[in-house]
Amino acid sequence: MNITNLITSIKTINGAVIIPTNDSWHYTPPNIGLGSLQTNLYKQPLNTNSIVRPIIDNEEAWYAIQDASDHQQEWGNEEKLGTDALAWYASFHKTNYWGIYVPYTGLLKFASNFLGITQNPDLAIQLAWDGLLAHESIHFGVDVAGAQLEIISNSPIYLNGTNILRSPQGHIPDEEQIAEAAMLRFFKSLSLKNYNLDSSLREELFERMVQKSSYKPSGYRDGMKCVPGKIFKKHLNSYLFNLCHVGSPSSFISTNSFLELSGLVPLKSSGFYSPSSVNFSECPIYVFDDSPTKKAVSNVIHFITQISHIEESPGFMEKVVPKYLKQWVHTKELLGNPTYPKNKDNLDFKRWEDEDCPENNTRAWSVRVGKKTNMRAHIDEHISTKRWVARKFDNADKMGHHKNRK
């Protein structure tokens, strides 16, 4: 079946980017041949430092993650392709559609590693998202460093060097070792404040990732060797020098091994491992739905950072009596905050497909208004005009949210 017929949520998302057919290789993990998918992707806006956060429907997330774990071959074979079977980076040296690519299937499959430990599908997917970005951020950083080395030396380094260093399997072991180490460093550094995990759970997550890495191809499975900070930086610096040396042997940089090149990587020196400390505002992040025809899978995650402006339809504010006016204003502020998780209980922001109106090119969303109230607002997303319009305000029971409650 054509993949475009399977996608329901990503097609119409605001800011979607359609990649032409002749560039469709982006839709497959690297090193396994050309892809043939044509779909819309959500691309993170380039004018924000915040990272896209997934909105989770917990009622369906358990099934979706468990279903992903059963698709060992179809959904990214890590033992053959490493972590980049689940998410990957396309270089700006090679394509106009460069950036980090995260398919639903890869994200859900990676989350299956954490569900049994955290017992929380929301947290499992968040950990998967942050972990994959920790790995891919290194590929982005090396790409940027390579470009700066080319400017300094006035010679083509990145493409020449990566082509020479690439293994017969299609990846560069030394670079993957650093990227995998960055991911392991992230899991080793998980803080109680950000993820609400005690020390025993953090240790279990880290050991789980170390075990998974040991079964991956060369380079990936060696990531544990350079997890310590000083060794990590040393390996990164050595790799960049080697990239320059093989890419342009006669350049000034390639003959001066004492140079500190790791500073050219646009990642904070104190946080190579942490997505929260990486500025992704210059790196597009593409998310696309490649999941099977299972509603519980394809609609689990929807990536929205913020809704900057919500209009009120005629008559809406008449229903928002003064008693709930402050709560409604605060709800709009939270929806407009790019760093505030939209799936928090006090918002419970979610799709409301029962009121979708395809003929008007709109889809419906629902949000709780007020932390200790039973009131909700239904908001229409106008796809073509990129407008958000609050249309209904009422008690959750009257809106049909508890119609099955006894």
Domain ranges of the chain: 3-295, 306-395
Please tell me the predicted confidence (pLDDT) of residue 154: 85
SS (H, E, C) the chain: CCHHHCCCCCCCCCCEEECCHHHHHHHCCCCCCCCCCCCEEEECCCCCCCCCCEEECHHHHHHHHHHHHHCCCCCCCHHHHHHHHCCEEECCCCCCCCEEEEEHHHHHHHHHHHHHHHCCHHHHHHHHHHHHHHHHHHHHHHHHHHHHHHHHHCCCCHHHHHHHHCCCCCCCHHHHHHHHHHHHHHHHCCCHHHHCCCHHHHHHHHHHHHHHHHCCCCCHHHHHHHCCHHHHHHHHHHHHHHHHHHHCCCCCHHHCCCCCCHHHCCCCCCCCCCHHHCCCCCCCEEEECCCCCCHHHHCCEEECCCCCCCEECCCHHHHCCHHHHHHHHHHHHHHCCCCCCCCCCCCCCEECHHHCEHHHCEEEEEEEECCCCCEEEEEEEECCCCEEEEEEEEECCCCCCCCCCC
Out of 64-68, 144-148, 197-201, least confident range: 64-68
Per-residue pLDDT band for 221 (boundaries 50, 70, 90) equals very high
| Interval 239-277: pLDDT, tens | 998 898 888 777 766 666 667 777 778 765 444 445 555
How many angstroms separate the first and last alpha carbons of the chain?
40
pLDDT digits 0-9 by tens, 354-405: 888 878 878 889 999 988 788 999 999 887 677 899 999 999 888 888 654 4
Q: What are the pLDDT digits (tens) for 26-35?
A: 666 665 543 3
Cβ neighbours of 86 (radius 10 Å):
26
- Say how far apart CA 49 and CA 51 lie, in whole Å: 7
Does position 39 have pLDDT exceeding 50, yes or no? no
The band of 189, judged by pLDDT with boundaries at 50, 70 and 90, is confident
The yes-or-no verdict on residue 14 having pLDDT over 60 is: no
Structure tokens at 286: 């593409």
What's residue 362's pLDDT? Answer: 85
Q: What's the farthest any 2 CA atoms get from each other in the chain?
A: 77
pLDDT tens track for 101-133: 888 888 889 999 999 999 888 888 888 988 998
Residue 45 pLDDT more than 50? no
* Selected residue with higher pLDDT from 217 and 304: 217
Distances in Å between the alpha carbon of 93 and those of 142, 146, 147, 159, 332?
A: 11, 9, 8, 7, 41
pLDDT confidence of residue 35: 37
pTM of the entire structure?
0.75
Cα gap 199→194, rounded to integer Å: 13
Q: Which of 38-52, 126-140, 228-242, 374-388 has the lowest mean pLDDT?
A: 38-52
Instruction: State the burial class of residue 303 (Cβ atoms within 10 Å of its Cβ: 0-12, 13-18, 19+).
Output: buried
Q: What percent of the chain has pLDDT over 70?
A: 72
224 compared with 44, residue with greater pLDDT? 224
CA dist 261 → 33, 92, 118, 244 (Å): 33, 20, 39, 10
Q: What distance in Å separates the CA atoms of residue 277 and residue 105, rounded to the nearest whole number?
A: 26
The per-residue pLDDT for 223 is 94
More confident call, 281 vs 126 = 126
Residue 332: what pLDDT?
92
Quote the pLDDT of residue 34: 36
Provide the pLDDT for residue 10: 38
Which of 2-16, 24-38, 128-142 is the most confident on average? 128-142
Tokens describing residue 77: 């074979």
CA distance linking residue 320 with residue 300, whole number of Å: 30
Judge contact between 16 and 87, C-beta under 8 A. no
pLDDT of 229 reads 85
pLDDT of residue 67: 78
User: What is the architecture of the domain spanning 306-395?
Assistant: 2-Layer Sandwich (3.30)
